[in-house]
Amino acid sequence: MPSIPSPIASAAPINHPLPREGDRGEGQLITPRKRRRMVAIAGGGPTGMALALALHHYGIPAEIFEARTHAEVRQDARVLALSDGSRQILEWLDTWPQHAATSIQRIHISHRGALGRTLLRASEMDVQSLGWVLPAEELITTLETAISHAGIVYHEQKKVGAGKTADFALTAWAEGAVHDTDPVHDVTAHDYAQHAVLCQTHTAQPHHHIAWERFTEEGPVALLPLGNAYAVVLTCAATDAARITALSDADFLALLQQRFGARHRFTSVTPRENFPLGLRYRQQTVAERQVWLGNAAQTLHPVAGQGFNLALRDVWELARTLHHTPDPGSAQLLATYAKHRQLDRRGAIGFTHALIHIFASTFPPVRHARGMGLLALDLFPPLKDFVARRMIFGARAW
């Protein structure tokens, strides 16, 4: 499930300022020799901070380099939809903001205008929750506090220069999206000619911790329970994005009602934002003493919410692969990491890409086949269990 914006105000600054290079005592100065055994993390957002903490857990020193200020990082208006597997990773890091998370107990998947639907239940999967929805700012604040307590140095308004990567044992690129003009590796790209329109809405009835994924010919519509409201991701053609975003509240609610159907009655909506959707991923995620993870390795369509969950699995696998190594930039270890991540990332890329193409088709035989597929998924528990666990745990479910 996707990351979407929230009108919730930015979190207050953390009580403990993040350590900076000048904060070290005289006996803790990092010499050039020591620096060459460290990991430089480019990106001080959630992925970069999670990686720094995971490496710290295994005794690997790291420093974070973030081009923005701390205040700008905290002003993240997204809402994150996390799998229960991601909750487990964040609990391992002692950074799970339980108080801010809304549980998803059921996921209802359907296709407008066709028979068949699937209902996934946490109670059938033997997990606490199928997923969790929370404001990104809450997770960022929790991660920042943990970074401070661990004494990990965080450089704000500072980048890792292209010519400075040799100063470190390893440079981990953990911020920004994949670009078509990547100078290091070949990039595969696909433009879906779609935008996601993002907002929050209230409904006449409580959400009862149910998330909805509703496929339509115009694109999928997702409703994610957040507090006592729903976070909305409405996909539309790129040519319609500006018009739909600018609709009055009443007109947008009418459009959302038409797209979603009668299972909920929408009563209010927040201002809308939109962003383009596409698929971009690096063929190779490692190079000499460099690694790319999260959105810097693969930028996915938000359907089925694989993006940040995939990033946290990247973090977990990289830290586990490098645990207690004297050389975190070892070519052999990086090759091992890339090999272990290949199945999960390729699976997530293929899964999201296939969903968009299968459910976008208006060819009648395809429409009937996918309706039968949803029905079969609901009636065949082993297959439903497999799909649910793949979404929750990634390739670890296999």
List, in order of start, the domains of the chain with CATH numbers. Answer: 4-81+136-187+279-356 (3.50.50.60)
d(CA 152, CA 18): 8
Query: Which residue carries 């009655």 as its tokens?
Result: 265
Amino acid at the residue 397: A
Give the residue carrying structure tokens 């409904």. Answer: 203
C-alpha separations of 145 from 36, 40, 66, 141, 142 in Å: 27, 20, 16, 6, 5
Q: Name the DSSP letter for residue 33.
A: H
Which ranges of the chain would DSSP assign to H, the alpha helix? 32-35, 46-57, 70-74, 84-92, 122-125, 136-150, 241-245, 249-260, 307-322, 331-360, 364-379, 381-393
Q: Please give the backbone phi and psi of residue 102, each rounded to the nearest 5 degrees, phi first.
A: -105, 130
Among 134, 271, 127, residue whose Cα is nearest residue 201: 271
- The overall average pLDDT reported for the chain is 81
- CA neighbor of 143 nearest in space, from 201, 195, 80, 203: 80
- What are 220-248's pLDDT values in tens digits? 899 999 999 999 999 899 999 999 999 99
**Quick check: 3 pLDDT over 90?**
no
User: What is the predicted pLDDT for the residue at 167?
Assistant: 85
Q: Among residues 287, 312, 288, which one has the least CA distance to residue 53?
A: 312
d(CA 368, CA 370): 6
Q: Do residues 43 and 176 touch, judged by C-beta distance below 8 A?
A: yes
Split at pLDDT 50, 70, 90, the class of 372 is: very low
| pLDDT tens string 27-51 | 344 555 556 689 999 999 999 999 9
Q: What is the pLDDT of residue 346?
A: 87
- Reduced to 3 states (helix: H, G, I; strand: E, B; else coil), residue 273 is strand
Contact (Cβ atoms closer than 8 angstroms) between residue 128 and residue 84: yes
Find the range with the poorest average confidence among 32-36, 130-134, 226-230, 274-278.
32-36
Count the residues in the chain. Answer: 398
Longest dimension (CA), the chain: 73
> How far is the C-alpha of 118 from the C-alpha of 216, rounded, in Å?
15
Contacting residues for 181 by C-beta, under 8 A, at least 6 apart: none
Q: Residue 107: which of 85, 84, 130, 86 has the closest Cα? A: 130
